[in-house]
Amino acid sequence: MEYRIEHDSMGEVKVPADKYWAAQTERSHENFKIGVGIETMPREITHAFGVLKKAAAIANHGLKPEKMTDEKLAAISQACDEVMSGALNEHFPLVVWQTGSGTQSNMNANEVIANRGNEIAGKKLLHPNDDINMSQSSNDTFPTAISIAAVLGIEDKVFPAIDKLIATFERLEKENEGVVKSGRTHLQDATPITFSQEISGWRSSLQKDRRLLEIALPELKELALGGTAVGTGLNAPKGFDTAVAAAVSEITGKTFITAPNKFHALTSKDEIVFAHGALKALAADLMKIANDIRWLASGPRLGLGEIKIPENEPGSSIMPGKVNPTQCEAVTMVAVQVMGNDAAIGIAASQGNFELNVFMPVIIYNFTQSVRLLSEAMISFNDNCVVGITANKEKMHDNLHNSLMLVTALNPYIGYENAAKTVKKAFKENISLKEACVALGFLSAERFDEVFHPEQMV
């Protein structure tokens, strides 16, 4: 491999000749061999740095054009566009497990954009610190990258996926109106509901989760940029914070604002905890929905068997013909991972000391993983399972009319205690509710038929 010599304030460093990064990135690359190739800084953060560095250059150009010239802005903007597109991903090698402020990832972005910008300009035009990092600090850029990555993840990944699943449940509701089945509480028989009512519960849960995420978004859209090292804004020109927030909004198409208190923005991660709490709520609901579906599809002969789901692949290497609810299982495993991520984010967010939180890389690593897993799991679950759900109406009917909890309809006519006696007799002697009720003398056969209508209990 060929190398070139780069230098920083600590001296010279050998850097691979074909890479745009420079000395500080290389030092981190060499000093933190933890999770290399597996747990690199999320590409969502790489993209976010492209956004914020371009926005910073635009803001600086407007506020101090003598330092951020037209020529510099043009070179930086083109390099940042390439970062945002993912074209330069190979030049961002650093792992999550580095400095807790994300300083080295900030410098990775500064060095790559500077060297690529110089290549675009055809001369030594840009300096990583003086130009790309102008009016900034790692301490306000990394929190800003977190905000941008989180907002884009929720709005551009989670929302489309959740909307797709909601739409499928809405279709299934309409298709199953009037299909009456037994309800279940405590995994025991309960009074009847319609299948569409059951589906509406799933659909409504997802809609509620979406609203909770919407509530979290305004706080995530407050940017730390402009606070520089400790929140005072040292070395940033007046108005930089509002100008850079406006530029980020223009680039992303989302409405970001500057954080009103930069001291809070640098040290507290409460907004990311709150937002991930909404992702955890979504994970909890998806766990419930996936479990309901696999329980209802259990069988095919010895389980509940009230619905049928698509058969996607063989389910056993030894039992021929076995098919398993694999999409449901994938969703539930994702839910478990997201719940674990939530614990990690909460603990990390509690570690702000004085003017900075230094657990930021692990926070965004877990957050972006949750966003990706939930989004992709919902799409897979929808496309490979939920769209193909069909009601086994015959099984639903049989289970409904075999349920002892239908006796609840008799409460107004024979009272709770007599209804309980009816259930116990029917269960013990394996006879119908009607037979038990008539045998106990609570109602005549004719009167029982007059008042007992399971389909009207919904």
Catalytic positions are 186, 316
Owner of token pair 């309980």: 420
Residue-level length of the chain: 458
Contact of 356 with 230, CB cutoff 8 Å: yes
Token pair of 23 as six digits: 């000395």
Q: Return d(Cα 109, Cα 47) in angstroms, integer.
A: 10
- From first CA to last CA, the distance across the chain in angstroms is 73
The interaxial angle of helices 43-63 and 138-153, nearest 10 deg, is 120
Three-class secondary structure of residue 240 per DSSP? helix
List CB contacts of 111: < 8 A, sequence separation 6 or more.
20, 21, 22, 23, 24, 25, 128, 132
Q: Return d(Cα 324, Cα 329) in angstroms, integer.
A: 9
* Helices of type H across 176-228: 195-220
Instruction: Report which DSSP code applies to 186.
Output: T
∠ CA 17-21-25 to the nearest 5 degrees? Answer: 120
Token pair of 221 as six digits: 């859209």
